[in-house]
């Protein structure tokens, strides 16, 4: 493997570890409150929304006037996948949607798809620009920890088996790595790699919009905690500061 490939693999492994770290919380009950988990989601939502609107969409729209169609396709893709498979970002919501083993399997598969696209987004973002890749990686890691808590809580609530709960978080981590390699293969397989990369980034922008606006923001809106709302606002300000700092780096893709 080249050094570039090892770099991408390290980022994917780091994101996968975040899933497993969230799952491990099931072993230390109440170590993180819902308030803290929701604050992490709020930070992730602010970063993903900022990246999609201020970074990805302007770039892909500028290169081709038809690229916004792929942004819409990215949103619809996640919409229909999450409609088909039960999916939750909040441990408190799991009992309402998970009451049979069949639904449990569906929930795990649905969150695996979500994790797959997390890995996909990490790779295409780094291939576009290192600066964007860093911000995308941070945003994804922040919501992968609550995702790990969610899936392990679902599995443990039904199976009463902590090993299976941790295994489910590990499966999500593997799905993240698989998604990253899928993006790497797709963008490298076609002769016109730049066009494929732009389409992949457009899909990523749509996915980010859906995840932040549909999956994460409703949790923030329903929260009574000022910390959660403040975390969302500060994450957007943090994005602008990060963009300014990283803007001093040369714009090079991995």
Query: For residue 135, what pLDDT is reported?
Result: 83
Kindly list the distances between the CA atom of residue 45 and the CA atoms of 12, 69, 104, 155, 215, in Å, as whole numbers in the listed order: 20, 23, 26, 25, 9
Tokens of 96: 């309402």
> What string of DSSP letters covers 121-177?
HHHHHHHH-HHHHHHHHHHHHHHHHHHHHHHHHHHHHHH--HHHHHHHHHHHHHHHH
Query: For residue 192, what pLDDT is reported?
Result: 58
**What global pTM score does this model have?**
0.67
Tokens of 180: 């990253």
Query: For residue 138, what pLDDT is reported?
Result: 87
Query: For residue 158, what pLDDT is reported?
Result: 65
Tokens of 46: 């602010």
pLDDT in tens, 162-180: 788 889 899 999 999 999 9
Query: For residue 60, what pLDDT is reported?
Result: 80
Low-confidence ranges of the chain (pLDDT < 50): 1-4, 91, 94-100, 251-254
Q: Are 149 and 157 in contact (CB under 8 A)?
A: no
């Amino acid at each position: 493997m080249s050094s570039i490939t090892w770099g991408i693999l390290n980022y994917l492994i780091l994101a996968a570890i975040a899933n497993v770290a969230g799952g491990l919380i099931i072993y230390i009950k109440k170590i993180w409150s819902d308030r803290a988990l929701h604050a992490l989601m709020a930070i992730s939502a602010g970063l993903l929304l900022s990246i999609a609107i201020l970074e990805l969409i302007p770039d892909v729209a500028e290169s081709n006037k038809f690229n916004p169609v792929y942004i819409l396709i990215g949103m619809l893709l996640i919409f229909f996948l999450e409609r088909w498979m039960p999916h939750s970002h909040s441990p408190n919501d799991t009992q309402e949607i998970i009451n049979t083993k069949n639904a449990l399997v569906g929930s795990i598969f649905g969150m695996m798809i979500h994790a797959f696209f997390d890995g996909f987004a990490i790779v295409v973002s780094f291939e576009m620009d290192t600066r964007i890749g860093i911000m995308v990686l941070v945003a994804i890691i922040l919501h992968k920890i609550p995702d790990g808590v969610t899936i392990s809580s679902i599995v443990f609530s039904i199976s009463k088996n902590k090993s299976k709960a941790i295994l489910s978080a590990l499966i999500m981590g593997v799905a993240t790595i698989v998604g990253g390699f899928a993006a790497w293969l797709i963008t490298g397989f076609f002769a016109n790699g730049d066009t494929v990369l732009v389409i992949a980034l457009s899909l990523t922008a749509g996915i980010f919009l859906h995840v932040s606006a549909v999956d994460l923001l409703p949790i923030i809106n329903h929260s009574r905690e000022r910390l959660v709302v403040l975390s969302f606002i500060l994450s957007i300000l943090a994005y602008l500061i990060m963009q300014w700092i990283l803007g001093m780096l040369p714009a090079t893709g991995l």
